[in-house]
Amino acid sequence: MTGTTTAVLLAAGAGRRLGRGPKALLPFRGRPLIEHQVEVLLAGGCAQVVAVLGAGSTEILASVRLQDAVPVVNPQWELGMGTSYRCGILAALAREPETSVLVALVDQPGLTPAVVSRVLAAGRPGRIAAAGYRMPDGELRRGHPVLFDASLAARSLEPDTRYSGAEHAGEGKQGVNPDSGARAFLAAHPELLDIVDCSDLADGRDVDCDADLALLD
């Protein structure tokens, strides 16, 4: 894939299930987790990072060193990850319409520059490349990060007709599932997806509950 890549780092969640405040501010190796993730994305080959903030955004902007990352505050972050995904993709394409977009999660502390680099290297025009991780049964399961070329990043924002109508009027954007991110688009277009085995580099786990706190050690 030619051209540069912009990373969209989804870091807006409040971490309510974990109960330790916004995941972006979880301590990791002596600093906030979001700082580490920005560094990993840049070291892995992304030209720039758009960090989508929500919960704790005021504290993050005041106290966290985001290097050259561009912070974007999602005013609808409480409606679900899908709103942050949309916010990040729009911000990335507004800055550089021809950029490919790598979507990463702030709460995946095992992400390494090598994983980012491998996914970027697998990118192809008109394709989506996603890191894959082996499950105990040997199945290679799609995880993050996920790389879209520019045209597919834009297409992934098109309304999903399964989420239109009055029953979703409170979501702020008709046709958008606020909690799915790109999940619906990927499910609808499996023929566009290349899964890149990164099991030798990381396990793809994220921090969701107390049992996962060991990932921060």
For 130-172, what is each residue's pLDDT tens digit? 999 999 999 999 999 999 999 999 999 987 655 444 333 344 4
pLDDT, averaged across the chain:
89
Beta strand pairing call for 27-28 and 31-32? antiparallel
Is 168 within a domain? no
Domain span holding position 13: 5-163+174-207
Q: How many domains does the chain have?
A: 1
Confidence of residue 208 (pLDDT cuts 50, 70, 90): confident
For 33-53, what is each residue's pLDDT tens digit? 999 999 999 999 999 999 999
Question: What CATH number did the domain enclosing 200 receive?
Answer: 3.90.550.10
